[in-house]
Amino acid sequence: MPVAVDAMGGDHGPQVLVEGAILAAKEFGVESILVGDEAILRKALEESGEQGLPIGIKHASQVVEMDEAPSEALRKKKNSTIKVAFELVKEGNASSVVSAGNSGATMASALVTLGRIKGVRPAIATVMPTLKEPVVMIDVGANVDCKPIHLYQFAVMGNVFAREHLKKPNPRIGLLSIGEEDTKGNVQVKKAYDMLVESGLNFVGNVEGREVFKGDVDVIVCDGFVGNICLKLSEGLAESILQMLKQEIEGSLVASMGYALAKKAFKKFRKKVDYAEYGGAPLLGINGIAIICHGRSKARAIKNAIKVANDLSDVNLNLLLERSL
């Protein structure tokens, strides 16, 4: 079944989304349906010069802007690309949704159109680079106020996702806190700790901020407030270090050459930190599969996200999640 691509969202307009769909079809043979203004999309497809690819178009006349309030936008724009994309999934005409548009609207549309797995708080998972293997961080922004049971659910969902997506047979689960001992943490974390000990998961205990990038766990569990701050702090710090480094070694020729190389390494690092490069961030816990991409995603990131959406449908991720929860 094809992946429904919200083809009008994101900072770079429909072109990169069309291109992403073309790449996914050519490289991985993944089918997709571009959702958006039919005339614009047809023209973009034609101009690409590619023919015979398994890419469909579904017309939708409205777009939720990046800075629009999600709930209001969904109420007013009944024919928005993001809503129509989720309807395709609901009707059984698409397997999943990929969007680089307004992420709040993507979440809201998913919930309204597909609903959630019973009793579950959907969460956004993201894959971060570490010194060793990548790590899944969940939640990075869907839930700012969490109860212990929600942290527990994030752990269960992160476990399934790391197993299926990162191919870890028995993912090590860590709980983000301020000390390794079970007595360390805020009220929610301390209670979630006890639940995770009893969970049957491969729970390795609390992990501190210092451990996030070491790669000694496969899943890091936190509430969406903390996770979102950590994610953005990491991006910001990586950039700041590059700047500080530049200030530090400016003026010397050898240093400048070293700097050019360092910069290359940094760019690579930044790419790694940018979750879009890892194929977007899945919204887990809804009745369906949706991948949230960064607004600044380019075609390559969209291609990866389409592939991840297709892979997660193939393994029937939602059924696996439902069974685990």
Q: Phi/psi at 286 (nearest 5 deg)? A: -90, 165
Please select the residue that binds its own copies; options are 2, 122, 171, 224, rule is CB under 8 A.
224
Candidates 79-87, 209-217, 279-287, 309-317; binding stretch for its own copies (CB under 8 A): 209-217
Does 316 interact with its own copies (rule: CB under 8 A)?
A: no
d(CA 115, CA 287): 6
Separation in Å, CA 127 to CA 166, 268, 278, 283, 287: 9, 15, 7, 12, 21
**Alpha helical stretches, state H, the chain:** 14-28, 38-48, 70-76, 81-90, 103-113, 148-165, 187-197, 224-249, 253-273, 299-314, 317-324
CA-wise closest residue to 282 among 259, 260, 261, 310: 310
Does 296 interact with its own copies (rule: CB under 8 A)?
A: no
Q: Is 40 or 149 the residue whose CB approaches its own copies more closely? A: 149
Least separation in angstroms between residue 250's CB and its own copies is 10
Least separation in angstroms between residue 207's CB and its own copies is 10
d(CA 130, CA 128): 7
Binding mask 174-193 for its own copies (x = CB under 8 A): --xxx------xxx-x----
- Ranges within 122-181 binding its own copies (CB under 8 A): 129-131, 141, 144-145, 176-178
**Alpha helical stretches, state H, 179-223:** 187-197
Q: Is 197 or 261 the residue whose CB approaches its own copies more closely? A: 261
Residue type, 273: V
Please select the residue that binds its own copies; options are 35, 226, 284, 301, rule is CB under 8 A.
226
Element (H or E) spanning 205, and its range? strand 203-207
Please count the residues of this chain forming the interface with its own copies, following the rule CB under 8 A: 57
Candidates 2-10, 71-79, 105-113, 231-239; binding stretch for its own copies (CB under 8 A): 231-239
Does 101 interact with its own copies (rule: CB under 8 A)?
A: no
Q: Is 113 or 143 the residue whose CB approaches its own copies more closely? A: 143
Q: Is 262 or 325 the residue whose CB approaches its own copies more closely? A: 262
Question: Long-range contacts of range 52-57, CB-CB < 8 Å, 24 or more positions apart?
Answer: 53/22, 53/25, 53/26, 54/2, 54/25, 54/29, 54/30, 55/21, 55/22, 55/25, 55/31, 56/2, 56/31, 56/32, 57/33
CB 265 within 8 A of CB 240: no
d(CA 307, CA 29): 9
Q: Is 164 or 216 the residue whose CB approaches its own copies more closely? A: 216
Q: Is 116 or 272 the residue whose CB approaches its own copies more closely? A: 272
Q: Is 240 or 316 the residue whose CB approaches its own copies more closely? A: 240
Least separation in angstroms between residue 254's CB and its own copies is 5
Is 185 strand, coil or helix?
coil
Least separation in angstroms between residue 131's CB and its own copies is 5
Does 78 interact with its own copies (rule: CB under 8 A)?
A: no
Q: Phi/psi at 184 (nearest 5 deg)? A: -95, 135
Q: Is 49 or 251 the residue whose CB approaches its own copies more closely? A: 251
CA-wise closest residue to 284 among 316, 244, 318: 318
Does 71 interact with its own copies (rule: CB under 8 A)?
A: no
Please select the residue that binds its own copies; options are 39, 112, 197, 257, rule is CB under 8 A.
257
CB 52 within 8 A of CB 90: no
- Binding footprint of its own copies on the chain (CB under 8 A): 129-131, 141, 144-145, 176-178, 185-187, 189, 208-214, 223-226, 228-241, 243-245, 248-249, 252, 254-255, 257-262, 264-266, 268-269
